[in-house]
Amino acid sequence: MYVVGVDAGGTSTRACAVDENVHVLGTGRAGGANPNSHPPDKAAAAIAEAVAAATADLDRSELAHCVVGMAGSSKLTDPAIANLFDRTWRDAGLGSSPHIVSDAETAFASATDAPDGTVLVSGTGSIAGRIRDHRMVSVAGGYGWLLGDEGSGYWIGREAVRATLDALTGRAPLGPLATAVLDEAGIEVTEPRAFHRLITVVNQHAPVQLARFAPLVSAAASTTGGRRAPADPVAARIVDDAAAWLAETALAAREPDETTPIVLVGSVLGAGSPVRARVHDRLRSHDVRESKDGVLGAAWLAALKGFGQHVPHPNRVE
C-alpha cells in the first residue's frame, strides 16, 4: 500500500507517492492546478496527470489515500466544480477522489509534526491560519489585494510605487528604490512627465501585477551598491512596515499565550528576504519555523490518513 501527496500551485503541480515509512516511491509533475487562475477542467486534469506520473510504476489498486494541497481550494465548495474534479479523477483510473486541503495546511505539515500551530503565508497575497489537528480552522487577514493583504508582495510593490510617486512630486528624495521602480516600468528618470507615465504604466496591468516591484524593495533595503553602502531608508521603512503587519497578522490567528509553532511560507518570507529576517526578530519569543517541501507535507498528511499516527515525519526520515 502507498499514499500520494500533491502540491497544486498556480504555475506547477507536483505529486509524490510514499510508503508507510514516508520513503518516496515515485514523483510526477504537471502544469498549474489553481482553479482560480486556470479553468477548473484544466486544473483537475493537471492534478490527475501529476498523480498518474507519480504512480506509473505502482499498482493503482494499492493507492490507500491521496491529499492535495491546493492554492484556491475554496473553489471546490462549488458542487459543479467538485463533481468535475471527482469525474476527472475517476476517468484517470485513480479510484476514490483525493482529499483536498489548502496549500497552507500542507505547508505547515511540511515543517512540523505538531498538530496545532499557526501558518503565516506571504507571497503575492498574505494570510495567517490557525491550525488545529492539522486543519486550518480560522484565519486572520487574507482579504485580498483590494481590502488588505498587508505585508504581501502586492502590498510591498504598491508601497514601492507610491513612494516613487512621492519622490517624483518632490515630497521625498529620488533614491535607489525610486530609480529602480522607474527602470522596471521602462521610464527614464529625466522624463518631464515621469509621474503621469508611472501611473499610466501601472494601471495598464492587473493590480496584482504590482507584486513585480516587491523584489526591488528587498534589494534596496539590503544595500544601495557596495557592501558598505547603507540601505535605502525608504525601502527599509517599507520592509519594516511589512514585517510589522505580518507579525501582527500571525499573532491575531493565535491564542494570547499559545506556544505552538509558527510556520513561515511564501516568497516574501523566503531565504534571504529582509522581511523574513524582521519577522523572525518580531516573533523571536515564539517557536518560528520555515516551510519545507509542500508536496512532502501533503504526502505526510496522506500517510497519517492511510497508515495511522505512527508514521514518521519527513523531516525525520533518513
- Answer for the pair 55, 17: CB distance below 8 angstroms, yes or no: yes
Determine the Cα–Cα distance for residues 12 and 10; give it in Å rounded to an integer. Answer: 6
**Look-up of cell digits 523574513:** 276
Determine the Cα–Cα distance for residues 276 and 265; give it in Å rounded to an integer. Answer: 10
What's the confidence (pLDDT) of residue 317? Answer: 59
Answer yes or no: is pLDDT of 33 > 60: yes
What's the confidence (pLDDT) of residue 191? Answer: 82
- With H, G, I as helix, E, B as strand and everything else as coil, classify residue 65: strand
Strand order in the sheet with 24-31: 24-31, 12-18, 2-8, 63-70, 99-102
SS3 content of the chain, % helix, strand, coil (to 5): 45, 20, 35
What's the confidence (pLDDT) of residue 227? Answer: 54
Q: Band of the pLDDT at 289, cuts 50, 70, 90?
A: very high
Beta-strand relationship, 24-31 and 117-122: unpaired
Answer yes or no: is pLDDT of 198 > 70: yes
- Answer for the pair 280, 263: CB distance below 8 angstroms, yes or no: no
What domains appear along the chain, each with residue ranges and CATH number? Answer: 2-114+293-316 (3.30.420.40), 115-260 (3.30.420.40)
- With H, G, I as helix, E, B as strand and everything else as coil, classify residue 288: strand
The reported pTM is: 0.84
**Across 74-101, average pLDDT:** 81
pLDDT per position as a tens digit, 109-148? 999 999 999 999 998 888 999 999 999 999 999 888 888 8
**Look-up of cell digits 499516527:** 309
Answer yes or no: is pLDDT of 172 > 80: no
pLDDT per position as a tens digit, 219-270? 999 865 555 556 789 999 999 999 999 999 999 999 999 999 999 998 899 8
What's the confidence (pLDDT) of residue 161? Answer: 97
CA 207 to chain CA centroid, Å, is: 18
